[in-house]
Structure 1
Amino acid sequence: MSDRKTAVITGASSGIGAVYAQRLAAQGYDLLLVARRADRLADLGARLEAEFGISVQRWIGDLADPADLARLERRLEEEPVAMLVNNAGAGGLGPTATTGADAQEALIRLNVIALTRLSIAALAGFRKAGTGTLVNIASVIAFGPSAGGASYSGSKAFVLNFTRSLQMEYADSDIRIQAVLPGPIRTEFFTSQGLSDSVFPDTAYLSAEELVDAALSGLEQGEKVTIPSLGSPAIWDAIEASRQAFFKDVLGGQVAERYKGG
């Protein structure tokens, strides 16, 4: 690697991850691209090196595999980077009665365990440098329990709360931490699971380019939570106000009247 800053992007071989790679290369970052598909990473890396004159390392592995995950953790700990985009994720969509427990466990290993461990490894390097940027890709479904996406919805709710808690932990530092909540995006997400994009109307989709450009704009504006397709910030403000009212009410130290007697 050169003396330039290095950004690590997981799930970089296509879709959102590949767009992050292009945009960060254009900003002058060297890249460490992480994915399972070696051929796609090779093609993407070669294009970015030729177009932007940066250095690209390819890391091939499955982050749901503990050995592969540990290998990337060591890389982040031994050679600290400037930015980590935790984009790799799985959907595991479908009723749990048919998808089964193994598929749900694999999803949790990738969406929750890998993201958590890589965040912690990257933050260790950020603390040494006194600066760094962590971007965790959650989803609007963090707010939407789904009969066909129990583990996926739960995993993204974890990502949101985990990331927001880290923001509180590092509030007095120069470390930037952002949660990005995409809605439906035109990628291989649905088709790779044998599903049709028609699960949402055409008008509901953003392109991966629109999503990433908005997320990077939100990062530069200092947003802690960026929801690119949310048209009215007042809705988010109302959610936050309701959340605070909820905690005020549940910490009142009294059992609610509806549970007394009878």
Structure 2
Amino acid sequence: MIARALRLLDAFQEPQEALSLTSLAARARLSKSTALRLARHLLDWGALERTDGGQFVIGLRLLEVASLAPRGHGLRAAAMPFLEDLHHATGQHVLLAVRDGAEAVLVERLSAHRAGRAAYHVGGRLPLHSTGVGLILLAFAPLDVRERVLEGPLTIEPGAPRVGPDELRRRIAAIRREGTATNTRELPEPMSSVAAPVTGPDGSVVAALSVLAPTGTFDPATARPAVVAVSRAVSRAIRARS
């Protein structure tokens, strides 16, 4: 029952998305009767809510629970003053992400007007092999995680050619040597980023932060010192809290 209820929650894929019972059941691969029975339990607990039109949306109770996650809210609280400084200094998107298995999860995103379109929302999942923060988290992940990603599909974006594992291995080695990562994507519009690691009390990488801006109006080399300085300041703040 718990597994099926979690499948209902996992059916929501976009912020503020509202689903009918039919759509909810189809995405969760459940019958409508089973989906409705489980949805009622989730409604009672507050994990789901219903709109005036009768559709299902994620409930506020989940936000309350998620705020207790130390790798989310706690990390964000320590990092936010420094992320805001970086955001104001660059006038561009600033991202903070953590690794969850073979993916990254965006913990915070500060966005700017006319800074280009950011493809990922807070709470959304990012690929490790094709985003700035993801490449940092991949480079400093355990070996088995790196190998799992290298053995998987390495497309950059829909319609783009596959990245070869040998090329990705070279990028990972360079990131581990240099301590920063740069990345460029073409869709939904050309964007470039520079990212650096955030370390915990034991020196291990616990998160990654980056500046993301439109390609052509942004020089990653110029932004790199500021990104590195902020990542080190966040790392010190985390150690002080510990």
Which range, TM-score by smaller chain? Answer: under 0.3
Scaled by the length of structure 2, what TM-score is found? 0.27
Higher strand share: 2
Scaled by the length of structure 1, what TM-score is found? 0.26
Higher helix share: 1
